Structure 1
Amino acid sequence: MKLKHALWASAAALAAGPAFADGHEGERGRDGQVNIIYWQAPSTLNPFLSGGTKDVEAASLVLEPLARFDETGTIQPWLVTEIPTVENGGINEDLTQITWTLRDDIVWSDGTPFTSEDVAFTYEYCTHPEGGCAQATKFEPVESVETPDATTVVVNFREPTPYPYTAFVGGESPILKKAQFEGCLGAAASTCTEQNFGPIGTGPFVVTEFRTNDVIAFEANPNFREEGKPAFAAVNFKGGGDAEAAGRAVMQTGEFDYAWNLQLAPEVIQQMEAGGLGVPVAGFGPLVERIMLNNTNPDPSLPPEERSVVRPHPFLGDPAVYNAMSMAIDRPLLVEIGYGQAGRVTCNWVPAPEAFSSTSMTCDTQDLEGAKAMLEEAGWVDENGDGVREKDGVELRVLYQTSTNAVRQDFQALIKEWWEEIGIATELRNVNASVFFGGDAGSPDTFEKFYADVEMYANTFNGTDPQAYLARGLCDKAPTPATQWQGENISRFCMEEYDALWNELSQTADLSERQRIAKELNDMIVQNGGMIPLVHRGRLSAHANSLGGIKLNVWDSELWNIADWYRIGE
């Protein structure tokens, strides 16, 4: 029996193409320079070599996917003529093949043709076994990519794939230029500094200077496909500092036009907005602040090539331990002090879209006494009276790391207090965000390397279907030395049952069944020691009153429509 593709086909068929005209017409570059500040500074412009949102979004000014998601979460054709569906013949009836037809008016910023060979090469680049591609889950169902002609890309799937919009779709899966990157396959990927810092793209801007963890200079792409766009001739992309300074630079001093990810207390945002020069913009997508649990052993006495690779962890595999750690946390208080209206208590890894959000778990009430009793019953006791529980010679001592940020340090301080109250000694560590999310294989401080017992951060996924995101829990997606410490399964969680259930999701077409399986996968990883979700966070950024065309997008890169930005009143 042939599988149906009804939901995704009908949704995609509504996407007739990007129509984001702002009515602000004129010559390309007419509005001078726009100033953007990301307090987490980008460390690369190759999103395949970093799991950091900051790097993916900075790269989106230059590199583009075949299709992406607009501010409503609707898939839109970007470098292609239309979204392939079963109805229009772009997807075959048995759901094992999708055919993309490239637009014939696209060229790379250097004026050379953009062809199907570039798309096929991108697949080869990200799936190379020695490359350590940070976005490998997007290509998980793909068996091969064919190029019958210069404008046709045929993606073949290993099995019927009801949701085929992962590879080459969204800001996390853009197209690389083959002629520029063909010498950077496999282990050579991280050594190609010139390419990674200055990719040639099809987007509205080109890179003129890249200073890692500092400043990026862009100028308008003279070969961009839309006449009169971008309105800005240049982008000054400043990285570093902290969220508070970034917010003030837009809303109070006017030094910058756009500030990303203002992870600040609500009262601080209100004070900044009173400055009158800018406004905050917010929206809820699937962004979750959570604590990842290391399923391997980060003991510094192990050789570097074994830390966070050898399993199991000395005690975090015990359900009594990770459940007690979760029970000890007062999530409503974290929401109140950290995010206010821009935060919600969550027990889920995937809190949105609502249809995919599990309702089977509750965690909105702190239970310190219950946590103590659970540990006691499991044999974790404080035998010597030093306040630290132990069992069979193993003490409950954790190194808890995160990126440097005022809200995160407040969270750390409170959670340390609660964990120590139930007998878990907690050492705190924070790392500069640009380094923590930087993806440098040589650094011991990246969140992928995970040289700690637990670590806290947030990330999200492109689009409204969580299939590729849930693939981050697959056993073979763990970062290791063999993958240049790249990989999306940060906790090194591994369950055969999870892998099998995800495989079922990837072959399921019925929407209600997809929702059921996705919820079950969510529950499985949370309930079996993959992570401790804390807060469902709204994305909060700010832009100058003089900046027009902003459409905050929680389903793709925030800079997804920068080609449509313009200066008001100029």
Structure 2
Amino acid sequence: MKKIKLLLCLFMLTTLCGCSNSNKNESSKTLNAAMFWISTSLDPTNNYDGWVLSRIGVGETLLKLNEKYEVEPSLAKSYEQIDDTTWKLTLKDHITFSNGNKVTGENVKACLERAFEKNTRAIDYFDLNHVEADKQDVYLYLNKSSGAILNNLCEPLFTIYDASQSEEDIAKHPLCTGPFVVDDFVSEKTIDTSKNKKYYDGKAKLDHVHFSQVADSDARVLALQSGEVDLANTIDYSSLKLFRNNKDYQVLEVLGPRTNVIYMNNETTFLSDLTIRKALSYSVDRKSIVKLIGGKEATGLYSSALPYGNVSNGYSLDLKEANRLLDEAGYVDTNKDGIREKDGQEIILNYYESADHGSADANIIAQSMQSEAKKIGIKIKLNQVENANDIKAAGTFDLCSANDSSAPTGDPETFIQQRYLSTGSSNTGRYKNVNLDNLIQQFSTIYDLKQRQQLAIQASEMILDDAANIYVSYVPLNTVTSSKVKGAICHPVDYYMITKDIDLK
């Protein structure tokens, strides 16, 4: 199996060589980058494709996040809250799309309207009634107040582009405002970009960037070592030692808002029981897992990198407590086969896992979970699948793995609303708590940052009391480059990657 994997890696490398070499010439600076995922399109309104458009330095939004998750101006120079449901944003006056057309309020209006028309996820960020434009001013009229709207306008779903293009052109060659423009796009394979000569904030230092999708982490490692790529992200922790303290490479790392989580289906026969959910939460050996995959041991929903990531009631490894809970609840191993049962039914759980964000972490977590659960009399069957999304949507699982950004726009509201509200659009664990629902609803009317953070901590602790899901580790982001790359970044918000300042020396 290992040999087959290596052959596949080498094949991908060969393909990568062919693609990248054709874009190089002696008179231009071309960076070759390996990404774990290239989207099916570059239309920012399609699924999460806007994240790729942002990562490659093409797409930009009205506002942006700095490394402290604070909102800063981007295409908009200012914003103002008119009343609870009305916001005004004023655009910078000198910005053009890469075709030279000026960015106006009407352009922004068209992009926002199209986002809400095309992507059901948009309403999770704010409930838009309508948009009005007056020259460089944009007015957003909401159906209800939103304390997170400024952060959420940073989401690449709300990228600003020339929406007068055809649907086909938006999908393959969107005209945006970033330091680079799209020259060529092959779905889920490659993207070629070049310097945007119309960029408003200084010229990019590179002439071209060639991106290749290399889904396997080992293949990205080989591509770096062979010199076929100059930059790759999301290298598995176990492989980073190959590049650390090596003068030929630089390793950039930052702890961001991502969390390795095991979703528990709260509606299944056994996991509807709080006792079993708590016992499983106590059975996870987070310390050993982190030694293998890096990062920090998770205590709750939100990463400790966030100002609202500290909770007082997280779980740590305690097999004695896990066994005590199960004993007291009447789950016993009557036939001495190592599996507890109740009313004649053995506790056997189906766990689905798939590689997530180009990493093998999910498999390491799953195997550890299986091993530790056995010590408390629970049998876990592991099922490796290429994509667990359909299984999650159908609810045909007991446990499933995920690598989730619990604050994709730096604010706590949207994720907890999607995942933990009883009627949430992505409530994978089928978790329901009326008290939590009421707490989540309070976010929309609170604008004070400290109050929002305190509300997030309160909500996270309520979820932990219910052992709704299992939080394993907080995930560090990484980017590895050759030593000739200068100005590369590893931003905690992982839809920022290529900037005008990255260079090759």
Query: TM-score over 0.5 for the alignment?
Result: yes
Q: CA deviation at 1:557?
A: 2.1
Mean CA deviation greater in 97-106 or 38-47: 38-47
Query: Would you say 1:541 and 2:479 are equivalent positions?
Result: yes
Residue 469 of structure 2: aligned partner: 531
1:106 Cα offset (Å): 2.6
Note if 1:471 corresponds to 2:428. Answer: no
Contact 2:231 2:482 in 1 (8 A): yes
Q: 1 or 2, which has the higher strand percentage? A: 2
Shift of residue 458, structure 1, vs aligned partner:
1.7
1:85-116 deviation line (CA, Å, top 9, x unaligned): xxxxx223x44322111223333334444333
TM (norm. structure 1) is 0.75
SS where residue 474 of structure 2 aligns?
strand
**2:348 is matched with which residue?**
397
**Aligned equivalent of 1:221:** 196
* Offset from partner CA, 1:165-222 (integer Å, 9 cap, x none): 13422445423543247xxxxxxxxxx6764444332222333333333222223334
Q: Across the two proteins, how many residue pairs are aligned to each other?
A: 474
Q: Distance in 1 between matches of 2:385 and 2:37?
A: 11
Structure 1 residues 242, 198: CA separation in 2 closer, same or farther (over 3 Å shift)? Answer: same
User: Using the alignment, how far apart are the partners of 1:502 and 1:206 within structure 2?
Assistant: 40
Q: Secondary structure at the match of 2:243?
A: helix
Seen in structure 2, the aligned counterparts of structure 1 residues 125 and 222 have a Cα distance that, compared at 3 Å, is same
User: 2-side partners of 1:123 and 1:490: how far apart?
Assistant: 28
Q: In structure 1, give the amino acid aligned to 2:461.
A: D
* Matches of 2:210 and 2:403, distance apart in 1: 26
Amino acid at match of 2:216: D
* Aligned counterpart in structure 2 of residue 114 of structure 1, from 103, 121, 126: 103
**Contact 2:314–2:464 (CA<8 Å) still a contact in 1?**
no
CA contact (8 A) 1:170 1:463 kept: yes
Which residue identity does 1:119 align to in structure 2? Answer: V
C-alpha RMSD of matched pairs (Å): 3.0
Deviates more, 1:107-116 or 1:345-354: 107-116
Q: Equivalent residue for 1:322?
A: 277
User: In the alignment, is residue 174 of structure 1 matched against residue 152 of structure 2?
Assistant: no
The verdict on how the C-alpha distance between 1:193 and 1:318 changes in structure 2, with shifts beyond 3 A counting, is: farther
CA distance 1:180–1:315, change in 2 (3 Å): farther
In structure 2, the CA distance between the partners of 1:222 and 1:492, relative to structure 1 (3 Å rule), is farther
Q: 1:198 to 1:147 in 2, by over 3 A?
A: same
Aligned-residue offset at 1:261: 1.6
Q: Secondary structure at the match of 1:563?
A: coil
Show the counterpart of 1:367.
Answer: 318
**1:380 and 2:370 matched:** no
Q: Aligned partners of 2:393 and 2:354: how far apart in 1?
A: 13
What is the identity, as a one-letter code, of the residue corresponding to 2:223? Answer: A
Q: 1:202 aligns with which of 168, 177, 194?
A: 177
Q: In structure 2, give the amino acid aligned to 1:97.
A: T
Give the partner amino acid of 2:424.
K
Give, as a single letter, the amino acid of the residue that structure 2 aligns with 1:138. Y
Deviations 1:243-291 (A, max 9, x none): 23323433x33221221122322xx312233553211111122221111
Evaluate the alpha carbon distance shift between residue 510 and residue 207 of structure 1 in structure 2; reply closer, same or farther with a 3 A threshold: closer
3-state DSSP of counterpart to 1:35: strand
Aligned residue in 1 for 2:234: 261
Q: Which amino acid aligns with 2:447?
A: A
Shift of 1:336: 1.3
Aligned to 2:445: 507
CA gap 1:146/1:30 in 2 versus in 1, 3 angstroms: farther
Instruction: Tell me how far apart the structure 1 counterparts of residues 449 and 201 of structure 2 sit (CA, whole Å).
Output: 36
Choose the corresponding residue for 2:35, options 38, 58, 65.
38
Aligned equivalents of 1:474, 1:198: Cα separation in 2:
37
Deviation, 1:545, is 1.5
Between the aligned partners of 2:44 and 2:380, the Cα distance in structure 1 is 33
TM-score, normalised to structure 2, is: 0.84
Please tell me whether the aligned partners of residues 300 and 314 of structure 2 are also in contact (alpha carbons under 8 angstroms): no
| Greater alpha carbon shift after TM alignment, 386-395 vs 499-508 | 386-395
**Of the candidates 418, 421, 428, which is equivalent to residue 372 of structure 2?**
418
Contact 2:65 2:151 survives alignment (8 Å):
no
1:137 aligns with 2:134: no
Does the 8 Å contact 2:421/2:437 carry over to 1?
Answer: yes
Partners of 1:212 and 1:431 lie apart in 2 by 22
Match of 1:456 among 381, 396, 401: 401
Which residue identity lines up with residue 458 of structure 1 in the other structure? Answer: N
CA deviation digits over 1:147-170, x for unaligned, max 9?
A: 231321112344454443134224
Report the CA distance shift for 1:475/1:177 in structure 2 as closer, same or farther (over 3 A): farther
Over 3 Å counting, the alpha-carbon distance change for 1:173 and 1:459 in structure 2 is: farther
CA 1:226–1:355: 2 relative to 1, 3 Å: closer
The alpha-carbon distance between structure 1 residues 552 and 219, as it changes in their structure 2 partners (threshold 3 A), is same
Q: Find out whether 1:349 has 2:301 as its counterpart.
A: yes
Partner in structure 1 of residue 51 of structure 2: 56
Distance of aligned partners of 1:71 and 1:357 in 2 relative to their CA distance in 1, 3 Å threshold: closer
Matched residue type, 1:152: D
1:56-75 → structure 2 map (5 Å cutoff): 56-60=51-55, 61-75=57-71
Identity %: 23
Unaligned runs of 5+ in 1: 1-28, 85-89, 182-191, 296-311, 479-487
Alignment gaps of 5+ in structure 2: 1-25
